[in-house]
Amino acid sequence: MNTKILALGLLSLALGASGCRNTGRQATQLQSIGLPAPRAARITIDKLPVILKNVQAGLTQFDFTGICGNGTDCIYFMQENGKFYIDFEAISKEQLPYLDSLKLFAKEHGYPTVETTYNNTPVDYDHLQYAPVLSLKVNADIDSIVKVGKQIEHTIFRNNDRTVYEIVP
């Protein structure tokens, strides 16, 4: 669990600094000094089960993964004891209103929630010391958690089946 928190903390810090909406500035800077620019894998939501199967099988660096389409819609698929749940961290002020929307979504669907933090410093607001995280304790298998993730992306973030997401980390 500590490894998961550390990894999410580092990921959030990186996303906070650059955002999922990478403008290419970092890539240009790296290329200007002769280094290849790293690029996150990109998928549509229908490919998510394959990614989660790799997570579940231990074929990834971490025991979680996330998807991020536009910088505010980043959700993380966390694994515990072979079951998945979803975390959302409001690292920027633009993400804060989604906490309430996700709480309502969870309540309507009967998913318990836990409010926590990864102890990451918010990027562009200072009324909270640490960025809040809402954890939807869905406790689901891969097919079920993909349905929940898709529902969240469609109803909360207004994405669709053609939205392209970066896989994070």
Tell me the per-residue pLDDT of 6-30, one tens digit each, with 9 for 90 and over: 444 444 434 443 344 333 333 433 4
- Return the pLDDT at 40: 72
Q: Is the pLDDT of residue 62 over 70?
A: yes
User: Element (H or E) spanning 49, and its range?
Assistant: helix 48-56
State the CB neighbour count (10 A cutoff) for residue 18.
13
CA-based end-to-end distance of the chain? 16
Question: b vs e for 109-129, b when ≥16 Cβ sit within 10 Å of the residue's Cβ?
Answer: eebebeeebbebebbeeeeee
